[in-house]
Amino acid sequence: MSAPVPEMADRADACAERLRAADEVLLASHIDADGLTSAAVAASALERAGIPFGTLFSKQLDEAEIAGIAATDYDTVLFTDFGSGQLGVIAEREAAGDFTPVIADHHQPADATTEHHLNPLLFGLDGSSELSGAGASYVLARALEPADGDNRDLAALAVVGAVGDMQATDGELVGANRKIVTEGEAAGTVETGTDLALYGKQTRPLPKLLEYATDVRIPGISNDQNGALRFLDGLGLELRSGGDWRCWVDLSHEEKRTLTNALLQHAIDKGVRPGEIDALFGTTYTLPAEPAGTELRDASEFSTLLNATARYERADVGLAVCLGDRDGALDRARTLLSNHRRNLSEGLQWVREEGVTREEHVQWFDAGDRIRETIVGIVAGMAVGTDGVDRGRPIVAFAEKGEDEVKVSARGTPGLTRKGLDLSAVMTEASRAVGGDGGGHDVAAGATIPEGTREEFVERVDDVVGEQLS
């Protein structure tokens, strides 16, 4: 068996041996798309290896959550897509004999050590762009293979996790993620190609595909329903079927080429800069085993479907879809996705109406209880580049989490990270300064802070971002 990420092979083997020696494993995982795919990859590998396990999902692994895990009867706990940042508390529990941890994560590790810790950052790899949590789980899954087994089919879920974790830098997965893509291609579960880098090519009607294409703002089309309709009606193509608009996946090669050329010319005529136009294209990651025209066929749409489950307390539904349930679980996930999209639309509209507050280096809004704390970060990311929200500075969003806590989500852009922005460091430093805690990635991070500390927190965030971008 060849290791997908040679740098991590020995540690992965050691982690796999620990899991094989366990009487029963508790699989504990985060709830976003990367967390759900991490859990699904690990669950599949454990089942194939004949290792009994139970599952637990959490949106935040804190000291209380770890204490609850310690109170269970499991002798071994496998943490996926979190655990590294809480290593200090976990190591204390390990030293007390509560459980033996195995961690497959990609977030910044705390200043502590444990023997079975599989994290790309420990091996000189970037956990924000080169390997996701699902990727770390995949490395472990390959080490868990029996002599006559092959877990390379699980690469498809690892790709969905990486795409959902926004690791497709400039439209393409790189580093160790790219090695996993190659293994998925060899296993026949992943296909790649170059195409328009617009979300929704499988399921969105063409007018919505263009109207919501806001990563690259195209005047007269982006966020302009009537403009998108006029553009499509002017192409002279049969883009409707039975009165309904077709989707991108329904178009022939010639129709796609005609639409693409017209879109490029429109962007040029409207003054969109060449560098921005290049961002309209990227690498697509398709799962050929899934039906065309469904959310499951495209890695980006699959990840959004998963996000719509656990963020509404139904991680079990997302996991079941990942594990192949194409009946009840998929139907339930689609219902949750419809609700998720409505909430995102309403949240984005609220931000447009209320606007943001600008500091010297950042911009922010406080949604209170108007936007769920589990989706406020997604809304913040969607708001960047819309009217009144500057792409040239990070955005910070607040939402109520409980009586005494406030959820914070921060989003940047790849252009800002190239200039030195690291929101993980920003959220960690600023939150701890006010008695909270946080972390994440350079382009997207979050924190929890005590009620009543927003003003001091924003000041600290603005100072740290200013230092990074100076």
Cβ neighbourhood burial of 221 (10 Å; 0-12, 13-18, 19+): buried
Angle (CA) 120-122-123 rounded to 5° is 70
Give the chain's length: 470
Q: What is the CATH number of the domain that holds 455?
A: 3.10.310.40
* Tally of domains within the chain: 3
Residue 349 lies in a domain: no
What is the pTM assigned to this prediction? Answer: 0.88
Nearest residue to 136 (alpha-carbon basis) of 299, 298, 11, 263: 11
Residues 307 and 232 in one domain: yes
Q: What's residue 148's pLDDT?
A: 83
Please write the tens of the pLDDT for every residue from 369-404. Answer: 999 999 999 999 989 877 788 889 999 999 998 778
Residue 451 CA, chain-centre distance (Å), reads 27
Please name the amino acid found at residue 70: A
Residues 256 and 177 in one domain: no
Please write the tens of the pLDDT for every residue from 11-70. Answer: 999 999 999 999 999 999 999 999 999 999 999 999 999 999 999 999 889 899 999 999
Orientation angle between helical segments 155-164 and 176-187, nearest 10 degrees = 140
Residue 350 lies in a domain: no
Residues 202 and 338 in one domain: yes
Residues 362 and 288 in one domain: no
Angle (CA) 355-356-362 rounded to 5° is 160
State the DSSP H helix or E strand holding residue 341, giving kind and residue range, or none if neither: helix 328-354
Residues 175 and 149 in one domain: yes
Nearest residue to 221 (alpha-carbon basis) of 175, 255, 269: 269
State the DSSP H helix or E strand holding residue 192, giving kind and residue range, or none if neither: strand 191-196
Please name the amino acid found at residue 353: E
